[in-house]
Amino acid sequence: MKRRIWILTSAIVLIGIFAIAFAQFNSGETSIYSQIKLMNKVLTVIYSEYVDPIDYRKLIKGAIDGMTSTLDPHTVFFTPKQYEELRIDTRGSFGGLGIQISVRDKWLTVISPMEGTPAWRAGLQAGDKIIKIDGKSTKGITVTQAVTKLRGEPGSKVTITIDREGEPKPFDVTITRDIIEIKPVPFYGLTKNKVGYIRLVGFSSDAGDAVKKALEDLEAQGAKGIILDLRGNPGGLLNQAVSVASQFLGSDALVVYTKGRNTFQSREYYTDEEGVYPKGSLIVLVDGGSASASEIVSGAIQDHDRGIIMGTKTFGKGLVQSVRPLSDGTALKITTAKYYIPSGRCIQREYYLKRRESAIITDTLNWNPDTLDPWDFNPEPADTDTTEEKPVFYTTGGRKVYGGGGITPDVDYEPPKLNKLEIELERKGLFFAFVVHYSAEHKNAISSPDFAVTDAMLQEFRKFLEGKDFKYQTRAEEILDQIDSIAAEDSLSEETMQALEQFRKQLQKEQEREFEQSRKYIARAIRREIISKKWGEQERYRQIVLGADPEIKKAEEIILDPQEYSDYLKSSK
């Protein structure tokens, strides 16, 4: 036992020596050394005197995790198994759900479900908090730990508990894992008015080539403009972001640059080819699920006044990570720089700097460890004021653009929100299940993807739901349940309880009305699933996305109106 303590003590002392040797500020050397000695003493006392036997490996792992938790959510220590899984990630396909995730406010959060994957089909949305995985809380979990739990053999199932903004209570979603292989451009084509559309879902190793080929084909077909759809695109490889941007910006244009504490971490990235589409009308669609490489491309296009950005504000992920292999198969993924786009804006939302437990020094000029109380760990609550003005920057043409993290669109477009019925039907996969049933019962009823969903089909869908014993509660009914519980506890009068019961019956009638209000959405969802089943994803894009997506229609209108298009790109000076 003494030998183990000696080994641990020696290891920590060596860490301290290296830390001191590489420290770049002299005034804090004594403080650093004394704090490492303190950590050494705490470890020794715990290991030798704690009432129960201690697994020293977990003790060290806990200390390392504690250190990284005071930084940003993307700085993570990998055990040998986790590091191997990271390397598997870079090799291609794997069994999983198909979601990009991050940690916000200590909770696992969905950045975006990847199109065509189990998570996408289950209706997961950007911003959903995954509060449990197979019944176990995810509070405080790292992204790496979550990935380990969510991945598994294709065909196996995992149940996640979702906390969604606007929903009165969390709900469970059971998803069957599948092989995740995503083409960067699952579809491109022309609208009826000959505006080109390209759907880019990720920046994998062939994203640039895929966009280039799509542009060449669309140009050959006489496209009057291009819509690049980056909604829900979580990003990917930096070199592919530069490659995609090159197709629109021409050669020798600055796309992005990085800045870190060390000079070798600061680099500039320029386009290296003329590109297929350096001129012509261009609209880029983004939303809260557009992150990282998506923000680099859309931000560079905006900063160079090359096109119009349309949608909602992007995610704000602009931290650069490097993986440093350590000893015994372990590794540290550490944030070493930040992304900046040509106007000088930083893509990253700096929310992590304001956490109470943050160890990051935001004011290095006035920080002196020798004059501070070493145990004064941000006793005051973090500044959560969201009304502060965003810093203003300017594009090459003099237009105002705003910093503060993420890309703010030139044209705001908020997509219509689903009501509770529509959410529940999508979440439970009932459109897909109905189409499987309908196709078996009516094998030759539909012969063309141009079909319309009839009233008879909608009636059959309703009967199908009854057979599945489909039930759901409106938000008002869920709130009424809480009122009933309070009323019972407080022994309210019989008259009040009867009034509540009458109100409940009235709300049940509202469910019938909600179905009628959702007829168009339900018909479109049934048509979507039938087309996907009979003619595949390409035809689904052609018929449902190009034919009915209101945001694409709005983008098309702007492109076809030269005056409106140019107005959005005029200088605000």
pLDDT tens digit sequence for 122-142: 888 877 899 999 999 998 888
Task: Quickly state the pLDDT bin for 26 (edges 50, 70, 90).
Answer: very low
In a domain, 563, yes or no: no
568 assigned to some structural domain? no
List of residues 6+ apart from 450 with CB closer than 8 A: 543
Query: Mean pLDDT across the stretch 405-432?
Result: 90
Flag whether 29 is in a domain: yes
* Domain's final residue, options 118, 149, 179: 179
Give the per-residue pLDDT at 289.
93
- Please choose, from the candidates 235, 228, 199, 254, the residue with its C-alpha nearest in 3D space to the C-alpha of residue 315: 235
Indicate whether 13 pLDDT > 60.
Answer: no
What does the pLDDT average to over 171-180? 91
307 versus 419: the higher-pLDDT residue is 307
Note whether 431 and 545 are same-domain residues. yes
Q: In this structure, are 191 and 169 located in the same domain?
A: no
- pLDDT value, residue 372: 67
Residue type for 129, please?
K
In terms of domains, do 451 and 342 share one? no
Q: Which of 234, 232, 206 is nearest to 293 (CA)?
A: 234
- Tally of domains in the chain: 4
Sign of the CA dihedral running 270, 273, 279, 280 = negative
pLDDT band of 355, cuts 50, 70, 90: confident
State yes or no: pLDDT of 573 exceeds 60.
no
Average of per-residue pLDDT across 401-424: 92
* 3-state per-residue secondary structure call for 32-46: HHHHHHHHHHHHHHH
pLDDT attached to residue 48: 92
Least confident of 128-142, 450-464, 467-481, 555-569: 467-481
Q: Are residues 224 and 241 in the same domain?
A: yes
Q: Do 243 and 226 lie in a common domain?
A: yes
Among 137, 156, 179, which residue terminates a domain? 179
pLDDT band at 21 (very low <50, low <70, confident <90, very high): very low
**Please, what is the average pLDDT of the chain?**
85
**Whether the predicted pLDDT of 12 surpasses 70:** no
**Calpha distance 199→285 (Å, rounded):** 10
**Residues known to be catalytic:** 292, 303, 317
- Are the CB atoms for 293 and 239 separated by under 8 Å? no
The 10s digit of each residue's pLDDT in 297-308 is: 999 999 999 999
Q: What is the pLDDT of residues 277-299, one digit of tens each?
A: 999 999 999 999 999 999 999 99
Q: Does a structural domain hold residue 319? A: yes
Q: How far apart are CA 412 and CA 392, in angstroms?
A: 18
Nearest-angstrom CA–CA distance, 519 and 537? 23
Angle at 199 between CA 198 and CA 205, to 5 degrees: 100
CB 432 within 8 A of CB 529: yes
Co-location of 259 and 292 in the same domain: yes
- Cβ atoms of 224 and 283 within 8 Å: the answer is no
Q: Is 536 domain-assigned?
A: yes
What does the alpha-carbon distance between residue 313 and residue 286 come to, in Å, rounded to a whole number?
7
Q: What is the CATH number of the domain that holds 197?
A: 3.90.226.10
Choice among 15-29, 176-190, 194-208, 392-406 with the minimum mean pLDDT: 15-29
Which whole number is the average pLDDT over 110-120? 81
* 105 and 196 assigned to the same domain: no
CB atoms within 10 A of CB 54: 14
The helix (H) or strand (E) run that includes residue 4 is: helix 2-22
pLDDT of 172 above 70: yes
> Is the pLDDT score of 508 beyond 60?
yes
| Token pair 């203003």 in the structure block, residue | 392
Query: In this structure, are 318 and 203 located in the same domain?
Result: yes
Give residue-wise pLDDT tens across range 217-249: 999 999 999 999 999 999 988 999 999 999 999
Per-residue model confidence as pLDDT tens digits over 520-570: 999 999 999 899 888 887 899 999 999 889 999 999 999 999 999 999 998
Within this chain, do residues 211 and 358 fall inside the same structural domain, yes or no?
yes
Same domain (yes/no): 215, 280? yes
Q: Do 211 and 187 touch, CB atoms closer than 8 A?
A: no
Residue 72 φ/ψ, nearest 5 degrees: -95, 165
pLDDT of residue 448: 93
The verdict on residue 76 lying in a domain is: no
Task: Tell me, yes or no, whether 161 and 206 share the same domain.
Answer: no
pLDDT attached to residue 470: 87
Tell me, yes or no, whether 216 and 290 share the same domain: yes
Task: Confirm whether 64 is domain-assigned.
Answer: no
Q: 89-119 in b/e burial notation, b at 16+ Cβ within 10 A?
A: eeeeebebbbbbbbbeeebbbbbbbbbbbbb
Is residue 20 over pLDDT 50? no
pLDDT over 90, % of the chain: 50
Per-residue confidence (pLDDT) for residue 269, from 0 to 100:
96
Of 179, 207, 233, the last residue of a domain is 179
Confidence (pLDDT) at 360? 77
Find residue 283's DSSP bridge partners: 227, 308
CA-based end-to-end distance of the chain: 73
Alpha-carbon distances of 173 from 119, 150, 231, 268, 527, rounded to whole Å: 9, 13, 23, 43, 24
The mean per-residue pLDDT over the stretch 166-189 comes to 88
Element (H, E) at 508: helix 494-517
Whether 293 maps to a domain, the answer reads: yes
Range of the domain at 513: 420-555
Average pLDDT over residues 466-492: 75
pLDDT score for 494: 77
Beta-strand (E) ranges in 400-467? 400-402, 411-412
